[in-house]
Every structure is written in C-alpha cells, then in structure tokens.
C-alpha cells in the first residue's frame, strides 16, 4: 500500500500555548462555532424585530444546555457502567487515576445526541423565561445550528478522534496518533455536510422567512443532520466495544428518533400552511 497517496495527519492538539495556559484546537473550534451561532442569531433577531433583552440570555442557556446534555449523553449512552459508579466524573472534568489521584482531564467524551436533547430543554426554559413562542425559538436556532456542528467536527478532526474505518480511497487520512492505516476522515465528511446544510437553511430562510415559527426549519435541521449521521456512521469506527456486531451502532440508533421527529415537524408545518391557504381563499 503506497502511503504517498494518502493524507498524513498529525497536527498538534494545542492551538495556542501561553505557557501558563494552553488552548486546544478542539476548544477553539467549539468557541468559534458558538460565536458564529451567537452573531447569526443576533442578526435573525434584529431582522425579526425581537427585543434585545429577549436575546441576551440565550447564549448562556444554549452553552449550558449543549455542554451538560452532550456530557451526560456520552456518559449514559456509551459508558453507563463506569460513570454511574463514578458520578462525580460525569459532570466535573476530572478523573481519579490510580497512583495519581484526582487529575484534571477536560471533558473527554461529548455526545451530539445528548447535546441536541440538552439544547432543546435549554431552549424551552429560555423561551419561557423571555416569553417567546418555543417553535419560533427552535426554528431560529435550527437555521444556524449546522455551522456550529461543522466547527465541532473540525475540532474532532484536529484531535484525531472519532476516526473512520480503513480504506484505500485517495483522500484517506493516516491518523498517526492512532495507527498507520489510511482511514475515512469521517469527521471531515460530517463537517462538509453540515456546512452545506447551513447553506440550505439560509437559502430557505431568505426565500421563506414566514416559515419561522412553524417548526419547518427545526424539522429540516433534525432530518438533514441525523440522516447524514446514519449514513456517515458506516464509514466510522465504533466508539465502544459493545457496538461490535450490531446491525446499527449506537450513533445510528440514537439518530432514528431525531429523523422521525424532523419529518413529523416538516409534515406538520406543510399541513398547517395548506390549512392557512385554504382559509384565506374561503
């Protein structure tokens, strides 16, 4: 096998080392994604004449919802046996390492499905707090969410994590920190998909701004992201040993309810639009 055909990948996980403090690429990508969502959401709120004080609390609600949901999702979906017996490590970025005691590790393990659930709960609380319609909030967030998902997957790529299965395709990556096998860059596949989905969302929003609040954008976001996730999972290595031999791995199984919910929201939105059109004609 000629390794010159493939992309050798081994970037430093540290983006900026200040001596007393180091910023990892993964953290930087998360931050870039969240800032992009914040700025785009601010633009949507201004266009929709939503008051500034109703927008201000959103960032904290979203940040905590995604972080807590993603962390609990990983712990309970992928490693419940360990974390249910080590509950402190579930929420705090530390681990009790034999011979070393409590060690700061950062959050090693965040699940996108848990992050999605956490975000939905956080947005429901936010909508109640600022007295906005929940479907309206969901649609606005859904329009810009793919850009953050894209940034996070690029962070996974910089970390050489969530690697793909071995392949001989010319664009395969050799993740040197893992092994010497050329593999599918599953993280890059997802990042590219999410960037395209953001473009699709923005296109539909520019053409049909009246659909915000109908649930259409929320449904479209869930359907596109989690349908792509089901197919891309076939190119990725399983994250946990228990997934070996399963027809669908955990990521695919957890994606199915979100795909169904997305379809339901889009169909419901279309039916509501049809009823409105019939009523206006009558």
The tens digit of pLDDT for each residue in 123-160 reads 999 999 999 999 999 999 999 999 999 999 999 999 99
> What's the confidence (pLDDT) of residue 178?
92
Tens of pLDDT, residues 35-77: 999 999 999 999 999 999 999 999 899 889 988 898 888 888 8
Q: Annotate 215-242 with DSSP letters as a single string.
A: THHHHHHHHHHHHHHHHHGGGB--SSGG
Read off the pLDDT band of 99 (50, 70, 90): confident
Tokens of 194: 């999410």
Tracing tokens 């920190």 back to the chain, one arrives at 177
Tell me, what's the pLDDT at 280?
Answer: 45
Identify the pLDDT of residue 70.
86
Identify the residue with better confidence: 116 or 186: 186
Task: Provide the 10 A C-beta neighbour count for residue 83.
Answer: 19
Confidence of residue 121 (pLDDT cuts 50, 70, 90): very high
Lowest-pLDDT range, 80-94, 157-171, 265-279?
265-279
Query: What is the C-alpha separation between 38 and 42, in angstroms, rounded?
Result: 6
Using DSSP's 3-state secondary structure scheme, residue 270 falls into: helix
Q: Which residue has the tokens 């349908």?
A: 227
Give phi and psi for 174, each to the nearest 5. Answer: -100, 105
Structural tokens at position 192: 């590219």
Q: What is the pLDDT of residue 112?
A: 80
Kindly state the tokens that stand for 108.
């090693």
* Nearest partner of 107 among 146, 150, 152, 58, judged by Cα: 152
Which pLDDT value is given to residue 278?
46
Which residues have C-beta within 8 Å of that of residue 78, sequence separation ≥ 6? 109, 111, 239, 240, 250
Answer yes or no: are the C-beta atoms of 33 and 147 closer than 8 Å.
yes
For the chain, what percent of residues have pLDDT higher than 90? 61
Q: How far is 258 from 264, CA to CA, in rounded Å? A: 10
Neighbouring C-beta atoms of residue 238, cutoff 10 Å = 15
pLDDT at 1 over 70: no
Mind listing the pLDDT tens digit for each residue in 218-275? 999 999 999 999 999 999 988 777 778 888 888 899 999 999 999 999 999 988 766 6
Q: What is the pLDDT of residues 183-214, one digit of tens each?
A: 999 999 999 999 999 999 999 999 999 999 99
Please report where in the chains the tokens 């791995």 appear, as a residue: 249
Specify the higher pLDDT residue, 8 or 21: 8
Nearest to residue 197, comparing CAs of 256, 125, 143?
A: 143
More confident residue, 53 or 104: 53
Which residues neighbour 98 within 8 Å (Cβ) at sequence distance 6 or greater? none
**How many whole angstroms separate alpha carbon 185 and alpha carbon 160?**
9
In this model, does residue 12 exceed pLDDT 70?
yes
- Per-state percent for the chain, helix, strand, coil, to nearest 5: 65, 10, 25
Q: Tell me the sheet residues that pair with 14.
A: 24
């Amino acid at each position: 096998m000629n390794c010159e055909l493939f992309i050798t990948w081994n970037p430093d996980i540290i983006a900026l080392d200040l001596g007393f403090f180091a910023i990892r690429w993964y953290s930087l990508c998360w931050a870039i994604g969240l800032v992009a969502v914040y700025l785009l959401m601010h633009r949507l709120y201004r266009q929709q004449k939503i008051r500034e004080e109703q927008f201000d609390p959103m960032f904290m609600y979203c940040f905590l919802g995604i972080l807590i949901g993603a962390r609990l999702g990983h712990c309970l979906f992928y490693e419940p046996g360990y974390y249910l017996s080590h509950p402190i490590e579930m929420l705090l970025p530390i681990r009790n390492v034999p011979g070393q005691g409590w060690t700061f590790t950062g959050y090693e393990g965040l699940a996108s499905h848990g992050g999605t659930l956490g975000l939905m709960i956080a947005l429901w609380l936010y909508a109640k707090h600022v007295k906005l319609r929940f479907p309206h909030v969901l649609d606005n967030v859904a329009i810009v969410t793919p850009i953050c998902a894209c940034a996070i997957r690029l962070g996974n790529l910089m970390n050489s994590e969530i690697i793909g299965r071995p392949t001989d395709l010319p664009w395969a990556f050799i993740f040197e920190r893992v092994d010497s096998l050329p593999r599918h860059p599953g993280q890059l596949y997802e990042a590219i998909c999410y960037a395209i989905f953001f473009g699709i969302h923005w296109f539909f929003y520019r053409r049909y701004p009246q659909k915000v609040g109908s649930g259409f954008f929320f449904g479209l976001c869930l359907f596109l992201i989690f349908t792509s996730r089901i197919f891309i999972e076939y190119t990725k290595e399983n994250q946990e040993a228990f997934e070996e031999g399963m027809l669908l791995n955990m990521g695919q199984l957890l994606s199915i309810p979100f795909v169904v919910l997305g379809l339901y929201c889009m169909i419901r939105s279309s039916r509501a639009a049809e009823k409105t059109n019939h009523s206006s004609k009558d």
